[in-house]
Amino acid sequence: MNLLSAAIIINAILLTTIIILERKRPEKTIAWLLLIVIFPPLGLILYLFLGRNWKRHKLNEEFSPIVKDLINRVINRIDKEDYKYLAELLANNSDSPLFVDNDIEIFSNGEEKFNALFKEIERAEHHIHLEYYIVKSDDIGNRLKDLLIKKSKEGVRVRFIMDRVGAIKLSRRYIKDLRENGVDVVQYSYFLAPLLRRINTQINYRNHRKIVVIDGKVGFIGGMNIGDEYRGLGKIGEWKDLHIKVTGDFVLGLQGVFIDDYMAVKRIDDGEFFMEGEFDKYFPPSEKSKGKIMQLVKSGPNSEHPAIMQGIVKMIYMAKKKIYITTPYFVPTESVMDALKIAKLSGVDVKILFPGKYDHFLVYHASKTYLEELVRCGVDVYFYNKKAFVHSKVMTIDDSICTIGTANMDIRSFELNYEVNAVIYDKDTTLKVNDLFKKDLEESRRVDLEYFNSEPKYIKIIDGVCRIFSELL
């Protein structure tokens, strides 16, 4: 036995021991072991980058005591019987009160979202807080940069959290320009990030949140990052997405998420240091709005409870008539799959809208196997017209409750990324979302068993191989 062979064997034994001791789910453990056995050197490299938690900073998956105190000083709680059990779940697994007085505006494309965002930034008087996964120095990105610099020079405090992986292609000059003009740019990072700046890696534990808070009064949350592709001007073409603007006390929750994340990355332990004695500026009493009830759900890789996934499972089990889902990626946990199957077999109308074109090869092909499984159970699956990419992350239940946010319907969002979703207990908002869903179905193709059965053998093999490693995607 030569030295190389011995090294490979030792490597395999050590990695196998580590993986087993980490006590991951059996499916994930088996997938990693299989990868190591088939590709020993590659398995080591992939595990170091994808399997280990190399986070430099840990974001809070629950509200910190500081932020809980800040929110509770100005928030009212309400007992709503219709939502009691879901609301109780989210209160316990995500520390979220019911935010009871909100107004919501829905944006179904990038132009609408960015126009509204820039308009609100222009109105900012005290602070602008932004947190995004992807930021690009293209046309829309530069317009945002110029506007933030302008507001900073006017005396508005601008803080910008970016994920270092998501913003890996962002020019150094972009960040330098912001910082030189008073914008506080902080980057959520991971071990070895500086060495891998030029490599478009798929490192785990990413800050996938996309939120904006302006003066503590206006908030934005949804699926769109900062880049021209979200306006349909990127390589992938037309872009279908959903984002919302909120005014009301739900904004206090978004503010809490931002402040917790900001303090975690900056390693600030004292909330009063951040507040600088201006509590009322960051957490102003909300003005009377239209009374829409909302909850905020956030989770991350170290959460005691996978709050977003649990909320989705609970909502599915609550459905009596219909469940509509739009997601760009569909690699669900077993609990989500079982819940959807049970709902369909119980007579609930379950419809899923999925992209007809893809931006991630492995995830797309793995997703198809799960969708085929649901089709065999009677679920209606639609592939959107290949002229556009569907990126919305939405689920509606019985025309009465919906969830919109940053989390995809996949294991990565449920377990590996830092995410945040809004749960909206409002019939009017849910009906508007459903109207958009039905309109998209008109541009979509319903796929049946014949579609899957008629696919070439090599496609089925690709789908199957991708599914094997779906736990690692």
Residues 6+ apart with CB under 8 A from 57: 188, 189, 264, 265, 267
Distance CA 339, CA 330 (A): 14
Query: Is 270 part of the annotated catalytic residue set?
Result: no
Is 163 marked active-site? no
398 carries an active-site annotation: yes
Q: Of these residues, 113, 127, 365, 391, which one is catalytic? A: 391
Q: Which residues of 405-417 are buried (b: 16+ CB within 10 A; e: fewer)?
A: bbbbbbbbbbbbb
Dist CA 225 CA 132 (whole Å): 6
Report residue 317 CA to chain centroid gap: 22
Residue pair 253/296 in contact (Cβ under 8 Å)? The answer is yes
* Residue 387 near residue 219 (C-beta atoms within 8 A): no
Contact present, 353 and 440 (Cβ < 8 Å) = yes
391 is catalytic: yes
Question: Which one of the listed residues 101, 163, 177, 398 is annotated catalytic?
Answer: 398
Catalytic residue among 95, 163, 177, 215: 215
Amino acid at 424: I
Task: Please identify which of the residues 127, 261, 393, 410 carries the catalytic annotation.
Answer: 393
Catalytic residue among 129, 208, 243, 245: 208
Q: Which residues pair with 389 in a beta bridge?
A: 239
Nearest by Cα to 342 from 372, 379, 296: 379
243 annotated active-site: no
Q: Which residue out of 129, 210, 292, 351 is catalytically annotated?
A: 210
Annotated catalytic residue 215:
yes
Write out the catalytic residue numbers: 208, 210, 215, 391, 393, 398
